[in-house]
Amino acid sequence: MKTIRTLLGASATALTLAFIATGNAQAQAPAAPAAAAPLMTEKKVFSLPSYTTFGGKTIKNVKVGYETYGTLNAKGDNAIFVPHFYTGTSHAAGKYKAADAAAGYWDVIIGAGKPIDTDKFFVISADTLSNLNTKDPMVTTTGPSSINADTGKPYGMSFPVIAMRDSVAVHKALVDSLGVKKLYAVMGASGGSLQTVEWTVLYPDFVDRAIPVISPGLSISPWAVALLDIWVAPIKADPKWNNGDYYATGEPLDGIALALKLVTITTRHWGWVEKTFGYKPADATKPPVEAIGNRFASEDALTKAGIARAVTTDANNYIYMAKANQLFNVEDEAAKIKAKFLFLPAQSDLVFPPEMAKKAAEKLRGLGKSADVFVIEGDGGHLDGVLAIAKASDVIRAFLAK
């Protein structure tokens, strides 16, 4: 896999998140204690000699990266697992080096004295199967871009279809290997919320609490199925994609950049775009009225965001992860759930709007389960679940004390 990577600085994914976080600095500020020592972490790799998917296909030599924060107690019952979102990685908190430009994406709520208090909890985050960011050297994943041991070449589109629960099953093996006896909680955003729910269905006696953030509930919606298809379409339209066989001929970078531009706008909101970019030219010396190619600030910024985010992304892994999201549906398995739920939708979310989480909570309560909902207010869109999570600090803290 290394041979197909353009090696980059360790902080490429973090920098991209910092870019799309423009305008969210204030939203993140309140929860960070002024004098807290920075959380430091390191990336490790978990391996399984083989893994058989829920679809019945066996994948050899499965590897996923992971990091931990805090310490597991003697009973092995103070662990919190944090699965990541679609374009994310296991870098949920902390820094690898003090000089890192940015900390993990939920650093504002994970750390000593923070809502997910590493003085009390042992926090684990792991890369999914088919993680998008194969060219981020801090990510380890097994997916279509991985070398198939049987052929010596990348799987490409011959990789088996995987579901979100396949990543969860691999992560369960990781968590077991670390000596965890029970998860105190699972908390993930977006694609991570899908994994959070899968944990409670697959291992009902192993998970006490679930916090799905910006979640579609117990199944992906037909709307999100279509959005994911839209997110994938520009990659498949790029001739360089070549039905997934591009590892020797050059990656479909234009398609990936356009795909991630779509992701960026879809996961935002009109309020945020207006506030952040306004109605002005990208270049004051090139008014959009004067030439068809002269652009506005908002379109220019989103184009650049797509290009920036494409740097670490593998096209096929992106496609397989979209499919995994589309397959999420545990509506018929909800009765198995034993965990207490706290849904944290974002008010301005145009991907998984709050009504979806509310409907799921209602269904769970109808089945005699415990399910609360707290709406993160703001106009940042879907990404408020990642970037404005500090607004839910108190409710997370209270839920973890329940």
Shortest distance, CB of residue 246 to its own copies, whole angstroms? 15
For residue 68, report the phi and psi dihedrals to the nearest 5 degrees.
-135, 155
Query: Looking at 26-34, 102-110, 185-193, 296-304, which segment touches its own copies (CB under 8 A)?
Result: 296-304
Query: Looking at 12-20, 23-31, 106-114, 272-280, which segment touches its own copies (CB under 8 A)?
Result: 272-280
Q: Is 332 in the site for its own copies (CB under 8 A)?
A: no
Query: In angstroms, rounded to a whole number, what is the distance separating the alpha carbons of residues 63 and 149?
Result: 13
Q: Is 214 in the site for its own copies (CB under 8 A)?
A: no
Residues 69 and 39 sit within 8 Å (Cβ to Cβ): yes
Binding residue for its own copies, selected from 326, 330, 341, 378, defined by CB under 8 A: 326
343-364: string of b/e by CB count within 10 Å (b at 16+)?
bbbbbbbbbbbbebbbbbbeeb
Query: In angstroms, rounded to a whole number, what is the distance separating the alpha carbons of residues 289 and 198?
Result: 51
Binding residue for its own copies, selected from 189, 262, 310, 400, defined by CB under 8 A: 262
Query: Looking at 1-9, 94-102, 174-182, 285-293, which segment touches its own copies (CB under 8 A)?
Result: 285-293
382 noted as active-site residue: yes
Binding residue for its own copies, selected from 40, 278, 283, 365, defined by CB under 8 A: 278
Binding residue for its own copies, selected from 7, 34, 74, 289, defined by CB under 8 A: 289
CB atoms within 10 A of CB 213: 28
Query: In angstroms, rounded to a whole number, what is the distance separating the alpha carbons of residues 400 and 381?
Result: 26
349 noted as active-site residue: yes
Residues 125 and 119 sit within 8 Å (Cβ to Cβ): no
Give the DSSP letter string of 188-209: EETHHHHHHHHHHHH-TTTBSE
**Residues between 50 and 69 with contacts to its own copies, criterion CB under 8 A:** 55
Query: In angstroms, rounded to a whole number, what is the distance separating the alpha carbons of residues 103 and 112?
Result: 14
Which one is catalytic: 100, 314, 349, 384? 349
93-122 mask for its own copies (x: CB under 8 A)?
------------------------------
84 noted as active-site residue: no
Q: Is 362 in the site for its own copies (CB under 8 A)?
A: no
* Gyration radius (Cα) of the chain, Å: 20
Residues 171 and 83 sit within 8 Å (Cβ to Cβ): yes
- Contact residues: its own copies, CB under 8 A: 55, 157, 161, 163, 219-230, 233-234, 237-239, 254-255, 258, 261-262, 265, 269-270, 273-274, 277-279, 288-292, 295-299, 302-303, 319-320, 323, 326-327, 329, 350, 353
